[in-house]
């Protein structure tokens, strides 16, 4: 069946014609290594990586082998299983903050429970979240996720319909990388704040020197739980995540994407005294945080995650990942410089973004300052040149070959050239 027919069928049964994650104009039928094929048989190089998890590429033979073996043994149990227990051990070894782990199925769920856990632990209600920070789809996380309206800090703007007005009162919004304003917000409400939740690299905006250290100190000072959302950065920036890469240890972290090896699995991990609120025997009825999930600790996801992380531990993997990212960044710079188009790349080598602006990106507002019209055209051209990527991120995999990298370079050059011809 042709792609256009699939698209028509999708529009009938799916709101907006899609699953809510990616736009409706492409229907992916197959993926292998660094490549994807749509329903018309068009081949793409994958820089979307299923929004992050496929760091090894699609259908890695060693991952496929453990998945096939696990299918024969059972796909889900709603009970402890060896793979899940082992994965929890691997997470505790890898993540500096992790003494214990609770598994969930999605990153957003992990963030929601991490926030609730901080509330259970501190007995306080308010949280501090950064403007533009992404923590899934809970009511709290939807506050000032991608606000079009500029309001004064710490006021929160809901980015979704259907959120009770009362939620706004408990979410204080701060500017990422601005210690002064963040400190004044925290100090004004310290005794009511349960947690500060932050992506150690917010979307693709790296923390400025000292910002995460400042958050660590101020949270210590006021007994506030510091949560690093490492759903993206965990095992990607470094094996030990953003907390290893930037050298700051939170109280809790959330993980997703890579730890399920392409299957639905996420986790809250952190200090045992905080995690004990998942254990009624330790904290009693009043402190107990009820949490149950049908697929939590799913063995299929756990074996895929375990194998993915084992492969990531092999020597040279992070160097290779960063080299791949660096090669793509160089291609972008070269082509845009050649045609004298002002731009900024921000992020780290394993994951970054581009804007058409001269300004260095330090926070959400800076990240919105680029020329959106040129970006829309550029993204359209990249797609025409058979690069599949999210509108806001370049996700780098280990599956990229030298041939892929030079093909990406050529696709970027052609896309930039097309931009110039239109302008
Ligand atoms: C930083 C961050 N946190 C949480 C999430 C939510 O994860 P999920 O889509 O698995 O719910 C995402 C998703 O991309 C994310 O980037």
Ligand 1 contact via 231 beta carbon (within 6 Å) = yes
CB atoms within 10 A of CB 243: 24
**Domain around 97:** 74-312
Q: Ligand 1, residues 22, 55, 107: which to mutate, most atoms within 8 A of Cβ? A: 107
Percent of the chain with pLDDT over 90: 98
Helix ranges (DSSP H) in 14-95: 61-73, 82-94
Question: How many Å apart are CA 96 and CA 246, to the nearest integer?
Answer: 12
SS3 of residue 417 by DSSP: helix
Residue at a domain's end among 278, 312, 346: 312
Dihedral, CA of residue 117, residue 173, residue 145 and residue 98, to nearest 10: -30
Give residue 270 CA to ligand 1 midpoint distance, Å: 18
Asked if 320 and 361 sit in the same domain, the reply is yes
pLDDT on residue 359 = 87
Question: How many Å apart are CA 281 and CA 28, to the nearest integer?
Answer: 47
> Which residue has the CA at smallest separation from atom 9 of ligand 1?
107
Nearest alpha carbon to residue 134 among 29, 248, 230, 23: 230
Ligand 1 contact via 51 beta carbon (within 6 Å) = yes
pLDDT digits (tens, 9 = 90+) for 35-69: 999 999 999 999 999 999 999 999 999 999 999 99
Exposed, middle or buried: residue 334 (CB in 10 Å: 0-12, 13-18, 19+)?
middle
Is residue 323 scored above 70 in pLDDT?
yes
Q: How far is CA 356 from the centre of its chain?
A: 23
CB 385 within 8 A of CB 244: no
pLDDT on residue 421 = 85
Ligand 1 contact via 256 beta carbon (within 6 Å) = yes
Cα–Cα separations (whole angstroms), residue 200 to 135, 187, 212, 255:
12, 21, 7, 12
Asked if 41 and 79 sit in the same domain, the reply is no
**308 domain-assigned:** yes
Question: How many Å apart are CA 199 and CA 91, to the nearest integer?
Answer: 18
pLDDT on residue 422 = 62
pLDDT digits (tens, 9 = 90+) for 214-262: 999 999 999 999 999 999 999 999 999 999 999 999 999 999 999 999 9
Ligand 1 contact via 106 beta carbon (within 6 Å) = yes
Question: How many Å apart are CA 373 and CA 238, to the nearest integer?
Answer: 34
Residue at a domain's end among 262, 296, 312: 312
pTM of the predicted protein model: 0.98
Asked if 182 and 293 sit in the same domain, the reply is yes
**Domain holding 385: CATH number?**
3.90.1150.10
Give residue 22 CA to ligand 1 midpoint distance, Å: 14
> Which residue has the CA at smallest separation from atom 16 of ligand 1?
232
Q: Give the list of residues 6+ apart from residue 211 with CB closer than 8 angstroms, or none.
A: 176, 177, 179
Closest atom of ligand 1 to 133 CA is: 1
Residues pairing with 239 in the sheet: none
Within 13 Å, how many C-alpha atoms sit on residue 259's CB side?
40
**Domain holding 147: CATH number?**
3.40.640.10
**66 domain-assigned:** no
Asked if 189 and 285 sit in the same domain, the reply is yes
Asked if 85 and 52 sit in the same domain, the reply is no
CB 111 within 8 A of CB 257: no
Closest atom of ligand 1 to 111 CA is: 4
Q: For residue 423, what pLDDT band results from cuts at 50, 70 and 90? A: low
Asked if 209 and 337 sit in the same domain, the reply is no
Question: How many Å apart are CA 262 and CA 55, to the nearest integer?
Answer: 9
Question: How many Å apart are CA 417 and CA 402, to the nearest integer?
Answer: 23
**67 domain-assigned:** no
Strand 225-229 and strand 252-255: the pairing is parallel
Ligand 1 contact via 199 beta carbon (within 6 Å) = yes
Q: How far is CA 315 from the centre of its chain?
A: 24
Q: Ligand 1, residues 231, 257, 265: which to mutate, most atoms within 8 A of Cβ? A: 231
Asked if 143 and 283 sit in the same domain, the reply is yes
SS3 of residue 263 by DSSP: coil
Tokens 């736009």 sit on residue: 23
Helix ranges (DSSP H) in 95-240: 107-122, 179-189, 211-221
Give residue 282 CA to ligand 1 midpoint distance, Å: 30
**188 domain-assigned:** yes
Asked if 156 and 284 sit in the same domain, the reply is yes
Asked if 184 and 282 sit in the same domain, the reply is yes
Ligand 1 contact via 107 beta carbon (within 6 Å) = yes
pLDDT digits (tens, 9 = 90+) for 122-145: 999 999 999 999 999 999 999 999
Q: Ligand 1, residues 105, 109, 129, 232: which to mutate, most atoms within 8 A of Cβ? A: 232
Cα–Cα separations (whole angstroms), residue 271 to 95, 190, 399:
11, 21, 35
Asked if 173 and 232 sit in the same domain, the reply is yes
Asked if 156 and 263 sit in the same domain, the reply is yes
Asked if 332 and 381 sit in the same domain, the reply is yes
> Which residue has the CA at smallest separation from atom 7 of ligand 1?
107
Ligand 1 contact via 390 beta carbon (within 6 Å) = no
Give residue 233 CA to ligand 1 midpoint distance, Å: 10
Ligand 1 contact via 147 beta carbon (within 6 Å) = no
Question: How many Å apart are CA 393 and CA 10, to the nearest integer?
Answer: 25
């Amino acid at each position: 069946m042709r792609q256009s027919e699939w698209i028509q069928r999708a529009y009938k049964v799916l709101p907006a014609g899609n699953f809510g994650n990616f736009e409706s104009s492409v229907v992916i039928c197959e993926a292998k290594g660094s490549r994807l094929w749509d329903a018309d048989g068009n081949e793409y190089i994958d820089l979307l990586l299923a929004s992050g998890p496929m760091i090894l590429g699609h259908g890695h033979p060693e991952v496929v082998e453990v998945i096939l073996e696990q299918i024969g043994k059972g796909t889900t149990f709603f009970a402890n299983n060896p793979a899940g227990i082992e994965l929890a051990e691997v997470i505790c070894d890898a993540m500096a903050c992790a003494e214990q782990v609770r598994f969930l199925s999605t990153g957003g769920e992990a963030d929601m429970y991490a926030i609730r856990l901080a509330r259970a632990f501190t007995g306080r209600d308010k949280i501090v979240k950064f403007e533009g920070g992404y923590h899934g789809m809970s009511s709290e996380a939807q506050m000032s996720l991608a606000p079009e309206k500029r309001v004064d800090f710490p006021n929160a703007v809901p980015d979704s319909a259907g959120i009770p007005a009362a939620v706004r009162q408990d979410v204080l919004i701060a500017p990422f990388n601005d210690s002064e304003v963040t400190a004044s917000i925290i100090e004004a409400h310290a005794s009511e704040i349960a947690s500060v939740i932050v992506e150690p690299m917010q979307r693709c905006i790296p923390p400025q020197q000292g910002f995460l250290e400042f958050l660590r100190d101020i949270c210590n000072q006021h007994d506030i739980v510091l949560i690093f959302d490492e759903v993206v950065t965990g095992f990607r920036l470094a094996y030990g995540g953003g907390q290893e890469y930037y050298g700051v240890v939170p109280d809790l972290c959330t993980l997703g994407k890579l730890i399920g090896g392409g299957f639905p699995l996420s986790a809250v991990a952190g200090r045992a005294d905080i995690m004990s609120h998942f254990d009624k025997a330790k904290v009693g009825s009043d402190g107990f945080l009820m949490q149950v999930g049908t697929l939590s600790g799913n063995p299929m996801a756990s074996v895929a995650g375990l194998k993915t992380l084992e492969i990531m531990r092999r020597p040279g993997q992070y160097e290779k990942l960063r080299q791949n990212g660096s090669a793509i960044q160089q291609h972008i710079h070269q082509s845009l410089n050649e045609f004298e188009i002002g731009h900024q790349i921000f992020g780290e080598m394993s994951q970054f973004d581009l804007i058409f602006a001269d300004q260095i990106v330090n926070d959400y507002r800076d990240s919105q300052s680029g020329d959106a019209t040129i970006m829309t055209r550029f993204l359209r051209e990249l797609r025409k040149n058979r690069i599949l990527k999210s509108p806001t991120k370049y996700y780098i995999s280990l599956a990229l070959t030298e041939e892929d990298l030079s093909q990406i370079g050529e696709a970027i050059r052609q896309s930039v050239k097309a931009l110039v011809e239109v302008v």
